[in-house]
């Protein structure tokens, strides 16, 4: 299996404290040693770092940890390979362009027989069930909406129905972004925490490091982290329900119902 | 204007010696300080590093220079902005997926009125004439060849005719790769050098650093560098002619004519 980490914030945020915890699970405190990746939005484009090496010892992860790259929307993934060999092409997050925007996707779970579905426009580079499912979703979204729809909730409904459809093939926990919104779907395991004023302290489960967010964040800052498993103690992580679909922007939940 | 650097080799090659020269031209020995990028193939996928900061002082460039990432096919670019503001989306190389392969493109020159051409499948993320031209080429290639053609020379001819067509709009020096081949087009400025046995020494024009390739390369290693301007002394760089189109694989020229 794999682990996911996403961030949605109303200011360009530094994810390194939380990423430091996730990173340990890629070969040290966890078994997800078959590569890792992170995509950070900057406008409609992304910076991405991928490495088929374990995040715990990856030199690219080490560089990322020493850099000061911030973003309002981030998706990261550490991999334990099930389907598809360990190589760069099979390393999440995957990305594709639609409407002149980068779409980014990372998945935890397995999808049996998903490759029986036909693809039209988007073709996987690698051999994972995950990238195949992503290409299928992108195909359907492009077909329904050749241009970004004026009514965003129509898009949200389509993504949710695609998530429910693909979830029938197995386990489909995912994070997805279209450069404006972060979409999170819980097949069987996903949780989230929102950090906002008044800020407190948190302790990373995997390293024991403690941070006092009041030293790093301002009164109006809001950020939400979404992860496969809680990364910190001393914070309230909320579990998503099976089949639950959530949308975030600027760190805040968006109301799905019309 | 901008500067380009490409590499085609028959072994995963270390481009850092040559890149160290190019990097200087992004804010130190040259004026191309409006961002830089590099894409390195690994299979059908790429690793990419982009930064809208000057390559000379970019921390991402510094990391790349200290890493040991090798590749048989590499495209790099340093930018002096003409069209499109300085931001991540406008930073070359650009990439898109076709046939499950990453295509990578970087451009030197300006293309007036190129945006009057219609686009269908691919949409630019940013606002450069360069990315627009790339999307136009990709549209045409996809339309002609929904799948990779069995006869590669049909594809090569199409790319050449697209290059000639777009070249009418201004200056169109470019490097392009489809993950198998490197395509180089000279509108008015492009040169190349092949390093093969017996290996000699070379001195970087921009730093004065000297390398003895015989200490780094083996008898069967072949690599070709393609660049806007020569990066080294003590090596024979060949100038491409105006309108010339070249194809490389494993460091060697491919015969274009059928």
pLDDT in tens, A98-118: 999 999 999 999 999 999 999
How many residue pairs from chains A and B have C-beta atoms closer than 8 A? 71
The mean predicted confidence, pLDDT, of chain A is 94
Return the pLDDT at B184.
98
Asked if the structure places residue B140 within a domain, the reply is yes
pLDDT at A258 over 60: no
A101 is catalytic: no
Phi, psi of B134 (to 5 degrees): -60, -45
Asked if the structure places residue B91 within a domain, the reply is yes
Residues 6+ apart with CB under 8 A from A98: A138, A141, A142, A178, B123
Task: Residue B63: list chain A partners with CB under 8 A.
Answer: 63, 67
Return the CATH number at B159: 3.60.20.10
Return the pLDDT at B27.
86
Return the pLDDT at A67.
86
Overall pTM > 0.90: yes
A189-239: pLDDT as tens digits: 999 999 999 999 999 999 999 999 999 999 999 999 999 999 999 999 999
The answer to whether A114 touches A129, Cβ cutoff 8 Å, is yes
pLDDT at B258 over 70: no
Domain holding A41, by residue range, is 2-253
Query: How many distinct structural domains can be found in chain B?
Result: 1
CA A159/CA A134 separation, integer angstroms: 11
Q: What percent of chain B has pLDDT over 70?
A: 99
Strand order in the sheet with B173-177: B94-98, B101-108, B173-177, B182-185, B245-249, B252-253
CA A48/CA A40 separation, integer angstroms: 6
Nearest-Cα residue of chain B relative to residue A147:
B123
At residue B140 the predicted structure's pLDDT band, cuts being 50, 70 and 90, is: very high
Asked if the structure places residue B258 within a domain, the reply is no
Which residue would you say has higher pLDDT here, A195 or A258?
A195
Rounded average pLDDT over B191-199: 96
B234 three-state secondary structure: coil
Q: What is the ipTM of this complex?
A: 0.92
Asked if the structure places residue A152 within a domain, the reply is yes
* Contact between chains at B125 and A45 (C-beta distance less than 8 A): yes
Residue A205 to residues A75, A214, B21, Cα–Cα distance (Å): 20, 20, 44
Asked if the structure places residue A258 within a domain, the reply is no
**How far is A139 from chain B, CA to nearest CA, in Å?**
12
Residues 6+ apart with CB under 8 A from B50: A45, A47, B35, B36, B37, B60, B88, B91
pLDDT at B211 over 70: yes
B1-42: pLDDT as tens digits: 799 999 999 999 999 988 998 898 988 888 888 899 999 999
> Which chain A residues touch B if contact means CB-CB below 8 Å?
42-48, 50, 59-60, 63, 67-68, 87-89, 96-102, 121-126
CA A205/CA A211 separation, integer angstroms: 12
């Amino acid at each position: 299996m794999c682990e996911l980490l996403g961030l949605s914030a109303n200011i360009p945020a530094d994810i390194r404290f939380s990423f430091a915890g996730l990173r340990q699970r890629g070969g040290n405190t966890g078994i997800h040693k078959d590569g890792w990746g992170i995509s950070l939005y900057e406008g409609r484009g992304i910076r991405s770092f991928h490495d088929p090496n374990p995040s715990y010892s990856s030199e690219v992860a080490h560089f990322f940890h020493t850099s000061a790259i911030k973003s309002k929307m981030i998706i990261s993934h550490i991999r334990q390979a099930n389907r598809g060999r360990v190589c760069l092409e099979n390393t999440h997050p995957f990305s594709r362009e639609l409407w002149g925007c980068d779409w980014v996707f990372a998945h935890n779970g397995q999808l049996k027989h998903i490759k029986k579905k036909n693809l039209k426009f988007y073709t996987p580079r690698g051999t994972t069930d995950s990238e195949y499912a992503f290409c299928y979703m992108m195909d359907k979204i492009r077909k329904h909406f050749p241009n970004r729809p004026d009514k965003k909730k129509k898009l949200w409904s389509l993504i949710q129905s695609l998530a429910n459809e693909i979830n029938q093939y197995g386990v489909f926990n995912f994070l997805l972004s279209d450069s404006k919104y972060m979409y999170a779907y819980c097949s069987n395991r996903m949780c989230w925490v929102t950090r906002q004023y008044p800020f407190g302290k948190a302790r990373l489960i995997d390293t024991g490091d403690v941070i006092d967010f009041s030293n790093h964040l301002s009164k109006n800052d809001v950020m939400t982290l979404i992860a496969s498993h809680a990364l910190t103690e001393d914070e309230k992580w909320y579990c998503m329900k099976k089949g639950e679909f959530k949308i975030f922007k600027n760190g805040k939940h968006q109301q799905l119902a019309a």
